[in-house]
Structure 1
Amino acid sequence: MIKVLFVCLGNICRSPMAEAIFRQKVKEVGLEKEIIIDSAGTGDWHIGKRPHEGTLQILKENNIDSSNITARQVTMKDLSDFDYIIAMDAQNLGNLTRMRGRDFSGEIQRLLDYIPKSKVVDVPDPYFTGNFQEVYNLIEEACTKLLAYIQEKEQL
């Protein structure tokens, strides 16, 4: 099994959106038995809560299932269990990089690193900007590229 973890700050906007979008993309290509997908936050403010209403709305508008997604915080176990840890921005990437142990053998990258020549490097936080459509568009494109990357690398 290949395990992919999406990480943002509070795990209520960007990373659950990425989890839901990526889960749908994986299902569309029939790899849901090969790839496990989850999301978490580096902060603990929203543990146990459903995604932000703006995230739920944009996912609903695009017919993407968001059921069974609740906020949780990244754990040290996540850093040993997941093969691909995908941060939404440089701050979360830095936090994850500092957390990982010497035994970590997976990849930690920013999501938008998978979009070659992207003018944007960090997924903006719609909790502060309110622009869920922009965030959806960025995540959707990056998840398509990430899935292609994983399929090629893992020979799926």
Structure 2
Amino acid sequence: MKILFVCTGNICRSPTAEGVARRWLVMAGLGELVGVDSAGIQGYHVGEAPDPRSQSAALRRGYDLSRLRARKVEPKDFEEFDLLLAMDRDHFQYLRDKAPEGKRHKVRMFMSYARMVRRDDVPDPYYGGATGFDAVLDMCEDAVQGLIDEILPEVNRRRQSVS
């Protein structure tokens, strides 16, 4: 299974979600079975590392985002990934509009997996203060836990069909 997290420039929200998911999937024993990546709907940060504030906030909680590099969503992503998870409604609409026929079902709102936080959008912390990056981490941890709970039966089914 492969999951793509999507935000605007791929330097704050989506790489944070990728970093959280990568670590929690390993802790759940799914690191070899579920691949994760992140991308942006805009390409103006392609090749850049995540925002230093995102990296700093993530590192305080044990998530290393330093090796991640921004990229833009590509048409092939709709073929390669099982889920494309939008950080907000604008990203969701963009992905739905770009999705080829028969692939729109793969596009979902990331926060739809959250168990504790009740909101649709992960707010963009880029223009705010440090607390915004911590809030993004809180939301990502919540939604990633719910995502793992939801995909676990499917991953187990795939694992059993391979063995």
- Distance (whole Å) between structure 2 residues aligned to residue 102 and residue 17 of structure 1: 29
Q: TM-score, normalised by structure 1?
A: 0.93
- Distance (whole Å) between structure 1 residues aligned to residue 110 and residue 117 of structure 2: 11
Aligned-residue offset at 1:59: 1.0
- Distance (whole Å) between structure 2 residues aligned to residue 139 and residue 115 of structure 1: 8
Taking the TM superposition and a 5 Å limit, the aligned residue runs for 1:107-146 are: 107-116=106-115, 118-130=117-129, 131-146=132-147
Contact 1:80 1:103 in 2 (8 A): no
Aligned to 2:41: 42
Aligned to 2:141, the other structure's residue is in SS state helix
Moved >4 Å (runs of 4+): none
Contact 1:82 1:106 in 2 (8 A): no
Aligned-residue offset at 1:38: 0.2
Aligned to 2:68: 69
Pick the structure with greater CA Rg: 2
Could you list the per-position Cα deviations for residues 25-56 of structure 1 after superposition, in whole angstroms to 9, with x for gaps in the alignment?
00111211111100000001100000001110
Count of residue pairs the alignment pairs up = 155
- Distance (whole Å) between structure 2 residues aligned to residue 144 and residue 119 of structure 1: 14
Contact 1:85 1:106 in 2 (8 A): no
Taking the TM superposition and a 5 Å limit, the aligned residue runs for 1:25-40 are: 25-40=24-39
- Distance (whole Å) between structure 1 residues aligned to residue 55 and residue 66 of structure 2: 9
- Distance (whole Å) between structure 2 residues aligned to residue 100 and residue 62 of structure 1: 34
Aligned to 2:94: 95
- Distance (whole Å) between structure 2 residues aligned to residue 119 and residue 146 of structure 1: 15
Ranges in structure 2 where 5+ consecutive residues have no aligned partner:
158-163
Identity %: 33
